[in-house]
Chains A and B, each alone.
Chain A
Amino acid sequence: MSRAGLVRGFDRARSSVDSGTGRGWPGGTEVAQHVLLVEDEPNIAEAIRFILTRDGWRVTHVADGLAALARVAETRPDLIILDHMLPGLSGLEVLAALRADPATAATKVLMLTARGQERDREAASLAGADGFMAKPFSNAEILAEVRAMVAR
């Protein structure tokens, strides 16, 4: 936790300066934080992966819910970015499954949704999402949210 606090403080300072244009992990010696990206739209996944990787995050991308659950157990990510509308299991169902498993119950989850209605935000919050972001978003926004959540 102390490390997270450190990172956050640093990141926040940095993000406020150059708004996510920096590369690599600033701590240098620290292991890169791991983000699991669950997104079925390949173009959006590519964009997020690019943005986060450039900011020094290690990003694993899967396209559906089942794969996501498998990867979670395997990789224990620091943060999961979870699209709402997924083929097969929906984002909310994946979230519920994560929260039901004690091993992943505390894992931070950022929900993405393209529907952007208040209802969806509430549903995500109820299901136990730690953050919520409506598409489309600016690169700075998602970066700031990811940093804030991991630091928290």
Chain B
Amino acid sequence: MPFHILVAACLAYVIVLFLVAFLAERRARRGRLGFLQSPLIYTLSLSIYCTAWTFYGAVGYAARSGLEFLTIYFGPTLVFIGWWWLLRKLVRIGRQYRVTSIADLISARFGKSNLLGVIVTVMVVIATTPYIALQLQSVVLSFGVFASETPDGVLPPDAEQTAVWVAVGLALFTILFGTRNLDANEQHHGIVTAIAVEAVVKLVALLAVGAFVVWGVAGGIGETIAKIDAANLSAWQMEPGRWTGLIFLSAAAVICLPRMFQVMVVENANEGHLARASWAFPLYLMLMSLFIVPIAVIGLERLPVGSNPDMFVLTLPLAEGQGGLAMLAFLGGFSSATSMVIVEAIALATMVSNHLVMPLWLRFSRAGARGDDLRGVVLMARRVGIVGVLGLGYAYYHFSGGSAALAAIGLIAFLGVAQVLPVLIGGIFWRGATRVGAVAGLLTGFVIWGYTSFLPSFGPGAVLSTSVFSEGAFGLAWLRPHALFGTVGLDPMIHALFWSMALNATAFFLGSVLTFPGPVERLQGAAFVNVFEGQIGPRRWAHGQAEPEELLVMSQRILGEDAALALFQAAAKAQGKAGFLPDTTPEFLGALEARLSGSVGAATAHAMLSQLVGRATVTVEELMAVASESAQIMEYSAQLESKQEELTRTAGALREANDKLMQLSIQKDAFLSQISHELRTPMTSIRAFSEILTEGGLDPETVVKYGGIIHDEAKRLTRLLDDLLDLSVLENGTVQLNLTLTNLHEMIDKALIAARQTRPERSFEIDRDPVAENVYLLTDADRLTQVFINLIANARKYCCSDHPQLRIAVRLRGGRVIVDFVDNGLGIPKDAQALIFEKFARLTDGNRAGGAGLGLAICREIMANLGGTISYLPGQGGAAFRVTVPIRLEKQAA
């Protein structure tokens, strides 16, 4: 077939795939997932297990090693039928914690350790590189087969060039569909649908070729079986050790291969699909393997000796002149290769970007989580990852010379990714597994694999010198790559498998047993191991200090603006808030982390959120240290604060006490001053007049007058001393109350009579209510009368009306009697009303007939002692005082 037609056919096929992917993507974007999420698509997508290696290589394998090729199918079949519970657990964990890759799962399981993520990523990338090279090789080979048939002399490009173009084309296709957007679930509906189509194509192609071979070439089933029996294939001996090893290897591979993990776990939409796949996928494998042996046998029989059995699927129809069938077979092989490469590249690029690029970028980008458009960075990382992965594949193809048999390369890759198995299985079933153990196991297995399987695959003298093969590294015989520890005579594959897996598992076990997991590790371990036992929150966020705005900005950079906005809006709505800024509750942060994990991986998502939630630290140990430290600081500061508060309180109390003392001191000074004044004033008069009298020579009238002054002033002094004494007794509460039942009317009568001595020259009109006054009070009658006298005397003294009046009103209210004394004078100015009950608060000095300014102070003290009150009533026209006293004063327990 002309090369350019071949290329055109390939391009046309790719365009069809592209369309399929595009339409599926559009459908998915519109939310009409429908069949895109059906178990059928899921099962078909799993068929990427069958790569070009299976498509072409199985026949070659059968031609070379008989039925051993079946081991490659038995492994996955066993896993899907017998180990579905393992797959289910993986899928559950993957879905629950939004695992993006196998590296992410292991990193998350062991305390979101990015170190593990890096190790697994590097391991898997290296291990899968030969596998990708294998696909390139198969495509190149198939091109070569067709091109050699070119009749018109157009020379096909050489294999190198073809390989480059195939690699570039695959990279473009993968980038176009694998990195169109960053989905939170890391699902690629377009790609998966295209892969399903390819799965159908390759199955149909292989079945068609098989059917053609059996019925078209061999002449029926019977003939075919006869030919098979006749072939020396039947003489082939089964090696139980190798079989077991290979079955184990393929079983491990189907779990650990990044692309298988991608379609099986990451792209899984429904756990239930696994149930269908558990029988449908083995069925698919069975159909794929159905005609392998016939094709191999007929090919060996029909085709010239020395033909590459790996190409029988293609060369048989060609030899039989079936150009169309050959074309179909070619497309089938092309499908196998492309689907594998695309998914593998996506899976690896996801790991590379999440575990290598993003952590580095986060660390070295000054902007950190808040920086530029992270989405762009992630997508760019993915694209670079895809190109890098395909570049590596091409490099391997180039350096390995493409000479090794397809199956051999495939097995090396299988063994490489199988190194992840112990840690993976241990991680999800054994809570005791620790990060240290995982690192130890992975590194051990990886090194052994590299030394015994990967590096030797380049051939003696390429990487490892021939002397290493024959005499061991450093001349140590027990370090020979194919005879480690002196195990001579084993099949190299089984040798590598045994030692790598055994030492890997041992290191993992010992490392786990000898170390203790960190807190987050334990949490994650429990969550992963017990994934079916309800939710054990593995990502507990305390109430963060992150601003929802910041989180939104970051999330928009990762998830895309609309997706992030929708997520936040939904969360806000769930919290009963309008708008799109939910509270940063631990639940929300957990959900957000899960969602971000889908895009950038668990460890990175955790690190980014940690940065925003205000914990700049990333490692858990640091976090814990910071937490306990800050707890101590908080406690300390709380102590300081309480001490400070105490001091403030004490200081306040002291200040208050001081103020009080100062006030008391001032009051005392003022009081002493007042007393001094009040005492010295009459004494001055007395002394002066007594001296004048003593000197004699006065007329009798003057003598009498001056004698009278002396007498009055002496009386004033006495009264002052009496008042002071009275006040002192009343204030100190040492007053002896003499409770009697006395009529109020009588008391007022008595008071009026007594008060008449004050300015006796004035006639006062007294307005009384005898009926209301007729009430018996149990009180100290003398004291109460004293208050009345004071009030009436004050009225007599100070009421300046020409026709002075005093109204005495009595009312009963709630067990108390209220007596109001209201005169018709000018009253007391507002600003003075507050002062009148203070000692020596005499307002006017005009007519102070003997008062020392203690009267109302004494009244106040008396009323306090009688359980009553005395107050000034403003706005009554004249001066108005209200006395309130209980009708029955209960004797207080003194």
Q: Do A and B come from one complex?
A: yes
Decide if B688 touches A139 in the complex (CB within 8 Å): yes
A144 to B844, CA, bound (A): 33
Decide if B845 touches A136 in the complex (CB within 8 Å): no
Q: In A33-55, which residues have CB < 8 Å from any B CB?
A: 40-41, 43-44, 46-48, 50-51
Identify which of B673, B678, B844 gathers the most chain A CB atoms within 10 Å of its CB: B673
A-B contact count (CB 8 A): 62
Which of A68-76, A98-106, A110-118 interfaces with chain B? Answer: A110-118
Known: A40-B845, A46-B709. Contact between A114 and B680, CB under 8 A?
yes
Decide if A115 touches B677 in the complex (CB within 8 Å): yes
Q: Which residue of chain B has its CB nearest to the CB of A86?
A: B845
Chain A residues lying within 8 Å of B680, measured Cβ to Cβ, are 114-116, 134-136
Interface string of A10-47 (1 = CB under 8 A from B): 00000000000100000000000000000011011011
Q: Which residue of chain A has its CB nearest to the CB of B702?
A: A50
A51 to B689, CA, bound (A): 10
Is A149's CB within 8 Å of the partner chain B?
A: no
A46 to B710, CA, bound (A): 12
Chain A residues lying within 8 Å of B846, measured Cβ to Cβ, are 87
Chain B residues lying within 8 Å of A44, measured Cβ to Cβ, are 681, 684-685, 688
Chain A interface secondary structure, helix, strand, loop or mixed? Answer: loop
Q: In B659-705, which residues have CB < 8 Å from any A CB?
A: 673, 676-678, 680-689, 691-692, 695
A44 to B689, CA, bound (A): 9
Chain B residues lying within 8 Å of A21, measured Cβ to Cβ, are 695
Known: A50-B692, A114-B676, A115-B673. Contact between A135 and B845, CB under 8 A?
no
Q: Which residue of chain B has its CB nearest to the CB of A137?
A: B684
Decide if A41 touches B681 in the complex (CB within 8 Å): yes
From residue A134, how far is it (CB to closest CB) to chain B in Å?
Answer: 8
Q: Which of B673, B712, B713 sits near A117, CB closer than 8 Å?
A: B673
Chain B residues lying within 8 Å of A136, measured Cβ to Cβ, are 680, 683-684, 686-688
Decide if B713 touches A43 in the complex (CB within 8 Å): yes
Is A97's CB within 8 Å of the partner chain B?
A: no
A116 to B692, CA, bound (A): 23
Q: Which residue of chain B has its CB nearest to the CB of A138?
A: B691
Is A66's CB within 8 Å of the partner chain B?
A: no
A95 to B804, CA, bound (A): 38
Known: A21-B695, A135-B683. Contact between A51 and B688, CB under 8 A?
yes
Decide if A48 touches B688 in the complex (CB within 8 Å): yes
Is A85's CB within 8 Å of the partner chain B?
A: yes
Decide if B677 touches A47 in the complex (CB within 8 Å): no
Known: A43-B713, A87-B845, A116-B676. Contact between A135 and B692, CB under 8 A?
no
Known: A43-B713, A115-B673, A115-B676. Contact between A135 and B681, CB under 8 A?
yes
A134 to B687, CA, bound (A): 13
From residue B582, how far is it (CB to closest CB) to chain A in Å?
Answer: 72
Interface string of B508-545 (1 = CB under 8 A from A): 00000000000000000000000000000000000000
Decide if A47 touches B692 in the complex (CB within 8 Å): yes
Decide if A139 touches B691 in the complex (CB within 8 Å): yes
Q: Which of B673, B689, B712 sits near A47, CB closer than 8 Å?
A: B689
Chain A residues lying within 8 Å of B688, measured Cβ to Cβ, are 44, 47-48, 51, 136-137, 139
Q: Which residue of chain B has its CB nearest to the CB of A43?
A: B685
A120 to B724, CA, bound (A): 24
Chain A residues lying within 8 Å of B845, measured Cβ to Cβ, are 40, 87
Known: A85-B677, A115-B677. Contact between A47 and B695, CB under 8 A?
no
Chain A residues lying within 8 Å of B709, measured Cβ to Cβ, are 43, 46
A85 to B670, CA, bound (A): 13
Decide if B692 touches A138 in the complex (CB within 8 Å): no
A136 to B689, CA, bound (A): 11
Q: Which residue of chain A has its CB nearest to the CB of B689?
A: A47
Q: Which residue of chain A has its CB nearest to the CB of B698?
A: A50
Q: In B218-263, which residues have CB < 8 Å from any A CB?
A: none
From residue A110, how far is it (CB to closest CB) to chain B in Å?
Answer: 14
From residue B721, how far is it (CB to closest CB) to chain A in Å?
Answer: 16
Q: Which residue of chain B has its CB nearest to the CB of A134?
A: B680
Chain B residues lying within 8 Å of A51, measured Cβ to Cβ, are 688, 692
Q: Which residue of chain A has its CB nearest to the CB of B716?
A: A43
Q: In A114-134, which residues have CB < 8 Å from any B CB?
A: 114-117, 134
From residue A104, how far is it (CB to closest CB) to chain B in Å?
Answer: 25
From residue A83, how far is it (CB to closest CB) to chain B in Å?
Answer: 10
Q: In B79-116, which residues have CB < 8 Å from any A CB?
A: none
From residue B33, how far is it (CB to closest CB) to chain A in Å?
Answer: 99
Q: Which residue of chain A has its CB nearest to the CB of B694?
A: A139
From residue B691, how far is it (CB to closest CB) to chain A in Å?
Answer: 5
Chain B residues lying within 8 Å of A117, measured Cβ to Cβ, are 673, 676
Chain B residues lying within 8 Å of A41, measured Cβ to Cβ, are 681, 684-685
Known: A21-B695, A87-B844. Contact between A47 and B676, CB under 8 A?
no
Q: Which residue of chain B has its CB nearest to the CB of A47?
A: B688
From residue A136, how far is it (CB to closest CB) to chain B in Å?
Answer: 4
Q: Which of B677, B689, B713, B844 sits near A114, CB closer than 8 Å?
A: B677
Q: List 25 A-B contacts (CB under 8 A).
A: A21-B695, A41-B684, A41-B685, A43-B685, A43-B713, A44-B685, A44-B688, A47-B685, A47-B689, A85-B677, A114-B676, A114-B677, A114-B678, A114-B684, A115-B673, A115-B676, A115-B677, A115-B680, A134-B680, A135-B681, A135-B683, A135-B684, A137-B688, A139-B691, A139-B692
Closest 6 CB pairs of A and B: A47-B688, A114-B680, A43-B685, A136-B684, A135-B684, A87-B845
Given A135-B680, A139-B688, 5 other A-B contacts at CB below 8 A?
A: A43-B682, A43-B713, A44-B685, A137-B687, A138-B691
